[in-house]
Structure 1
Amino acid sequence: MIDDDKVIETIDELETFLRLLEAGGLGLNNVAGVALATNNSNGRPFVAVLDDNQQLVLGRWVTTEVFENGKDMVRYGTKKPH
């Protein structure tokens, strides 16, 4: 399920999304991971929230800039504030 109305346009927005997800603020169950991916039909990039079976639970479109520059943040997580 990708929410077409919501696009993550900046690295700061990606960080906020990931922190909200880590804190359980989106009310999702059975979340096992997060990945950056591209849509098979049109190549549009998105952040994918996956369950234990690697099935898409939630997706948000991202800009090309976020896709290219947010890979480490998605891979390694956000830095915790001091």
Structure 2
Amino acid sequence: MNIDNQVIETLEELEAFLHLIESGALGLDGVTGVALATSNSDGRPFVAVLGDKHQLLLGRWVSQHVYDNGKEIVRNGSQRKH
């Protein structure tokens, strides 16, 4: 799994991460979506950056608080202005 070791601990950090994805700052090609998910191996929550055919392009671990409360932010995207 392509998940880096950084952990998003707050909703503000989640929003900043989404802004990086939306602005193209991470250099990912073919991004088609973002989702909150849990690892099949240990149940640990993460934010998944998805490409076409729903393949994982990049993942970043999130705290349980972010997983429980960040669904609307992920669904609606970053509210930061470019």
Name the CA distance, whole Å, in 1 between partners of 2:68 and 2:31: 23
Q: Where in structure 1 do 4 or more consecutive aligned residues deviate above 2 Å? A: none
Give 3-state SS (helix, strand or coil) of 2:54's partner: coil
Residue 13, structure 1, aligned to residue 44, structure 2: no
Aligned to 2:37: 37
Structure with more helix by fraction: 2
Q: CA deviation at 1:80?
A: 3.8
Residue 58, structure 1, aligned to residue 58, structure 2: yes
Name the CA distance, whole Å, in 2 between partners of 1:31 and 1:78: 15
**What's the RMSD between the two structures over aligned residues?**
0.8
Q: How far does the alpha carbon of each residue in 1:42-77 deviate from its partner, in whole angstroms, 9 at most, with x for none?
A: 000000000011000000000000001100000111
Query: Unmatched 5+ residue regions in structure 2?
Result: none
Aligned to 1:72: 72
Give 3-state SS (helix, strand or coil) of 1:58's partner: strand
Q: Give aligned pairs, total.
A: 80
TM-score, normalised to structure 1's length? 0.94
Q: CA deviation at 1:79?
A: 1.8
Aligned to 2:3: 2
Give aligned-pair identity as a percent. Answer: 61
Q: CA deviation at 1:32?
A: 0.4
TM-score, normalised to structure 2's length? 0.94
